[in-house]
Structure 1
């Protein structure tokens, strides 16, 4: 069985990060090996939560897994609490990344044009370096702007869908050129048609499939998306196949979710059968 080291936080409520990645990868026939960056009582969009930062524990995982001669077919990084954790991730990559290791970097830094509190200029520079080591990166629009130096406010001034999507594709191509990774900018919402899509760019192609948007933004959908992508890639799917499966799975999960608060995430558990290897 293939193994993925998942370097993410564990949030008890919110259906995101490790509580999303573990069931998705498991049902896809891939063993998730969690390296938790923090433990939270609930994901950080809840009005109140407690967070235990696990930075000091990360070197113990590296040391003990090295003693076990552990090997990973994939490495998936998500939420980190600061610069020191990124340094531990670089050490992890030096220890475990091989030429054939699939490295998916979800550069969690902000959303809706705003950066998260932990982001500093030095951390941004470290994140840029991390994306250059990746096979796949899955930033949202805000994170793509940070990585490319693009003005988020200027992007939002586009009033027609064609010009807006052209600008997003251009930004994705900038990322692909600078990182040499396959780039998927996630959760792109068009200003007029109000469709949502994930924009995929590699050195050869750019593509996206518009899907109906229900005017709700759920916790954890980006984590579900990235988990399906790396699971699919380890099953030798093409990137377009991986994206299509992830979009179909998340759409079904959204459609099957009741009127719970969006911070609780989507009720994806009933749709996990869609991910079973065929």
Structure 2
């Protein structure tokens, strides 16, 4: 079976296993040819509190015409951190153009967690992510990001299953076809809830939370999820495999001294 090619449009950290640095080894290990377009070069994971970011919008603007002239095509595109509204417009237009040619678009609207936005994320970022979701075959925000994207109040105690389904509906209203919401407490249970547009069906997958924090776990989840979807596995099975994989990786590394650098993935790819 021919493995499907994927383009990662995400930031690249110099120090730490997050974003492209986390996703590329996983997708490569799963056998998919991986290409990348950095949205920003970041000195280190933001968890250290001090960092430097170089936005690459001018570079991206010049890349797309070159790729078009050379006839480069991808089976799928996965987007992550978007550095500005201008960048979002460029990338979403490219994704929309490629989607019309049959490319699958995956969008992880990276903005925040635990009810708060990440360092450096602004209201303009939220508009940028709405722009990206509008072209998505599948988007997978966490609960915090879902609330910001849909102007829904964040409740740290969580939601009912019906409220979670309403949130899925609001995200679909922005334009996404299928939607997952990760890290959402449903009736007191940490869960991933999803809507599969191909089957017009909902699913709710509970999980056990390990109380430690690593940056990049969302990127790892995305990579495992997408890797299995590209092998034509179902959305619910791919989601469960991503949940199981991230649980194992966190459990194996929960005693690491410096968690800010993320999970040292290369040592554990075999568990995927």
If the length of structure 1 is used for normalisation, what is the TM-score?
Answer: 0.87
CA distance, structure 1, for counterparts of residue 80 and residue 131 of structure 2 = 15
Matched residue SS, 2:47: coil
CA distance, structure 2, for counterparts of residue 181 and residue 32 of structure 1 = 24
CA distance, structure 2, for counterparts of residue 179 and residue 97 of structure 1 = 13
CA distance, structure 2, for counterparts of residue 200 and residue 95 of structure 1 = 26
Deviation at 1:49, TM superposition (A): 1.7
C-alpha deviations, 1:158-190, integer Å up to 9, x for none?
5xxxx5444223212332354252111112246
**Paired positions, count:** 266
- 1:215 paired residue number: 211
CA distance, structure 2, for counterparts of residue 165 and residue 107 of structure 1 = 22
Tell me whether 1:254 sits opposite 2:256 in the alignment. no
- 1:227 paired residue number: 223
- 1:270 paired residue number: 267
Distance 1:27-1:84 versus aligned 2 partners, 3 A rule: same
Deviation at 1:215, TM superposition (A): 1.3
CA distance, structure 2, for counterparts of residue 71 and residue 126 of structure 1 = 24
- 1:102 paired residue number: 104
CA distance, structure 2, for counterparts of residue 29 and residue 212 of structure 1 = 29
- 1:120 paired residue number: 123
C-alpha deviations, 1:39-94, integer Å up to 9, x for none?
11202221222222212111222122222210110011100111111012023224
Matched residue SS, 2:192: strand
Distance 1:261-1:94 versus aligned 2 partners, 3 A rule: same
C-alpha deviations, 1:15-59, integer Å up to 9, x for none?
110011101111111111110011112022212222222121112
Distance 1:191-1:44 versus aligned 2 partners, 3 A rule: farther
Gaps of 5+ in 1: none
Q: 2:166 aligns with which of 152, 165, 170?
A: 170
Tell me whether 1:239 sits opposite 2:235 in the alignment. yes
Distance 1:260-1:207 versus aligned 2 partners, 3 A rule: farther
Deviation at 1:250, TM superposition (A): 0.9
Tell me whether 1:205 sits opposite 2:207 in the alignment. no
C-alpha deviations, 1:127-147, integer Å up to 9, x for none?
323212111001011111122
CA distance, structure 2, for counterparts of residue 119 and residue 8 of structure 1 = 17
Gaps of 5+ in 2: none
CA distance, structure 2, for counterparts of residue 197 and residue 99 of structure 1 = 34
After TM superposition, the structure 1 = structure 2 runs for residues 62-77 of structure 1, keeping only pairs within 5 Å, are 62-77=64-79
Matched residue SS, 2:73: coil
- RMSD over aligned CA atoms reads 2.1
CA distance, structure 2, for counterparts of residue 30 and residue 214 of structure 1 = 30
CA contact (8 A) 1:173 1:202 kept: no
Q: 1:181 aligns with which of 177, 182, 202?
A: 177
CA distance, structure 2, for counterparts of residue 151 and residue 101 of structure 1 = 34
CA distance, structure 2, for counterparts of residue 59 and residue 142 of structure 1 = 30
